[in-house]
């Protein structure tokens, strides 16, 4: 049956247009679905590739020393050949490089020095001993910025030096010293109790003359 009049023409044209467009829309929708599916697959693959298997936790590390940063100690072993004889003062001396001795320690704090004695532990300095009834010798020290000089002098002017001997130098900050006025800074046990396990650093010997 042929179309009757002009009123049927728009319907026929619309029908033909829809039939023509339908395959395009279906193809277009299929392409969209394919793209979305591909994106989902790619995202899943990418995520899976980036997932790294987590291993077992490692062992717990050793607990470090807490210590007291206001009480710092250093140690040096001096051998007989390290001493320097000063004829003008009739004493032997040794210079030590001690970075812990700061200006605050000198102005407001204090420096405690001890030497190791095999039979009596750590002995505070200054220290005087009497090997005979007429002779004595004295260990003394002089602290200055980032350094310290230890002297050994005999009352009769003898040039005698010991064998290897270990010194420990403890630097106490100004504020900490004021907060512990009752401490005997010449007593090794009292001083090191305040250090609370602070590690002892190595001190180098400076071979310079007075």
Model pLDDT for residues 144-198, shown as the tens digit of each residue: 999 999 999 999 999 999 999 999 999 999 998 999 989 999 999 999 888 876 6
Residue 54, pLDDT score: 57
**DSSP character string of 32-54:** HHHHHHHHHHHHHHHHHHH-PPP
Residue-level pLDDT at 120: 83
Residue 52 banded pLDDT, cuts 50, 70, 90: very low
Q: b/e string for 145-161 if b means 16 or more Cβ within 10 A?
A: eebbbbbbbbeeeeeeb
Q: Which residue has the higher pLDDT, 195 or 53?
A: 195
Whether the bond into 126 is cis, omega within 30 of 0: yes
Residue with tokens 């250093």: 74
Of the ranges 87-91, 138-142, 163-167, 206-210, which one carries the lowest mean pLDDT score? 206-210
Three-state DSSP state, 26: helix
Give the pLDDT confidence score for residue 29 in this predicted structure.
46
Provide the pLDDT for residue 206.
Answer: 64
Q: CB-hemisphere CA count at 13 Å for 68?
A: 17
Computed over every residue of the chain, the mean pLDDT equals 76
Average pLDDT of span 53-58:
56
User: If pLDDT is split at 50, 70 and 90, which confidence band does 37 have?
Assistant: very low
Please check the confidence at residue 30 and state whether its pLDDT lies above 80: no
Q: Worst-scoring range by mean pLDDT, 93-97, 116-120, 176-180?
A: 116-120
- pLDDT given for residue 5 in this prediction: 46
134 band by pLDDT with thresholds 50, 70 and 90: very high
pLDDT at 3 over 60: no
pLDDT at position 71 is 85
What's the confidence (pLDDT) of residue 203? 67
């Amino acid at each position: 049956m042929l179309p009757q009049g002009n009123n049927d023409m728009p319907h026929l044209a619309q029908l033909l247009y829809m039939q023509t467009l339908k395959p395009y829309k279906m193809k277009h929708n299929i392409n969209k679905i394919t793209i979305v599916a591909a994106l989902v697959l790619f995202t899943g693959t990418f995520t899976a590739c980036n997932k790294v298997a987590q291993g077992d936790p490692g062992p717990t590390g050793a607990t470090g020393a807490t210590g007291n940063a206001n009480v710092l100690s250093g140690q040096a072993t001096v051998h007989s050949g390290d001493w320097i004889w000063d004829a003008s003062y009739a004493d032997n001396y040794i210079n030590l490089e001690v970075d812990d001795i700061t200006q605050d320690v000198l102005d407001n704090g204090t420096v405690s020095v001890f030497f190791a004695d095999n039979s009596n532990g750590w002995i505070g300095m200054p220290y005087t001993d009497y090997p005979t009834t007429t002779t004595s010798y004295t260990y003394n020290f002089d602290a200055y910025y980032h350094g310290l000089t230890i002297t050994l002098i005999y009352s009769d002017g003898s040039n005698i030096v010991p064998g290897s001997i270990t010194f420990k130098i403890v630097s106490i900050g100004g504020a900490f010293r004021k907060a512990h006025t009752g401490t005997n800074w010449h007593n090794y046990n009292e001083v090191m109790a305040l250090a609370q396990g602070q590690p002892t650093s190595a001190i180098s010997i400076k071979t310079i003359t007075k």
